[in-house]
């Protein structure tokens, strides 16, 4: 399924909100349903701009939500870890051909591969999800070549002593 780039944050959040399925058929149906029912976009940018902690807690696991919230609310005068669009791993985005693969679910963990072109360059990201308090939440984003969102936070804490 190919969607406009503005749908990615909400689509991933819907994937993260999948109910915990019992069977492989239920997993596939839930994943397809989540992708097909995405119609709302987050125009306020509240997801990762330090505007609404409740949104972070709803869609990101506690660890990642804590890291994002701290970064967005304590680095007002300087650039923090998140100085790029975390959903696309880019400073600027002109996303085309966005495709979100069916999540691969393994117990309390899942991965969803997202492919797209940004300024004609092909990108492949993997979103990791975990089941937390009965809901699927984003726990990390793998940007390839050993770079992940959690790794960026870990490297920052080592260099800044945080």
- Closest to 15 in 3D by CA, of 32, 39, 1, 40: 32
Residue 159, in any domain of the structure: no
**Residue tagged 């902690």 (tokens):** 53
* 114: CATH: 3.10.450
Taking the C-alpha atoms of residue 62 and residue 59, their distance in angstroms, rounded to an integer, is: 9
Residue 160, in any domain of the structure: no
Residue 35, in any domain of the structure: yes
Residue 162, in any domain of the structure: no
Number of domains in the chain: 1
Taking the C-alpha atoms of residue 156 and residue 153, their distance in angstroms, rounded to an integer, is: 5
Residue 161, in any domain of the structure: no
Domain residue limits at 56: 2-154
Taking the C-alpha atoms of residue 65 and residue 126, their distance in angstroms, rounded to an integer, is: 18
- Cβ pair 41, 10 in contact under 8 A: yes
Question: Along the 162 residues of the chain, how does pLDDT read in single tens digits?
Answer: 455 555 455 555 555 454 444 455 555 544 443 332 222 335 456 676 777 888 888 888 999 999 999 998 887 778 889 888 888 888 887 888 888 888 888 888 888 888 889 999 999 999 898 888 888 888 999 999 999 999 999 998 877 765
Q: What predicted TM-score, i.e. pTM, was given to this entire model?
A: 0.77
Taking the C-alpha atoms of residue 59 and residue 20, their distance in angstroms, rounded to an integer, is: 15
């Amino acid at each position: 399924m190919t969607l406009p780039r503005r749908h990615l944050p909400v689509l991933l959040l819907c994937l993260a909100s999948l109910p915990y399925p019992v069977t492989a058929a239920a997993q596939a149906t839930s994943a397809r349903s989540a992708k097909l029912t995405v119609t709302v976009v987050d125009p306020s940018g509240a997801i990762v701009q330090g505007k609404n902690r409740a949104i972070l807690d709803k869609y990101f696991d506690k660890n990642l939500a804590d890291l994002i919230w701290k970064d967005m609310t304590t680095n007002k005068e300087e650039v923090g870890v998140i100085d790029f669009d975390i959903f696309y791993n880019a400073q600027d985005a002109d996303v085309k051909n966005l495709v979100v693969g069916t999540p691969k679910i393994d117990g309390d963990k899942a991965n969803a591969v997202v492919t797209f072109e940004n300024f004609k360059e092909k990108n492949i990201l993997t979103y990791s999800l975990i089941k937390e308090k009965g809901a699927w939440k984003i726990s990390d984003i793998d940007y390839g070549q050993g770079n992940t969102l959690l790794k960026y936070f870990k490297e920052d804490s080592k260099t800044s002593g945080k």
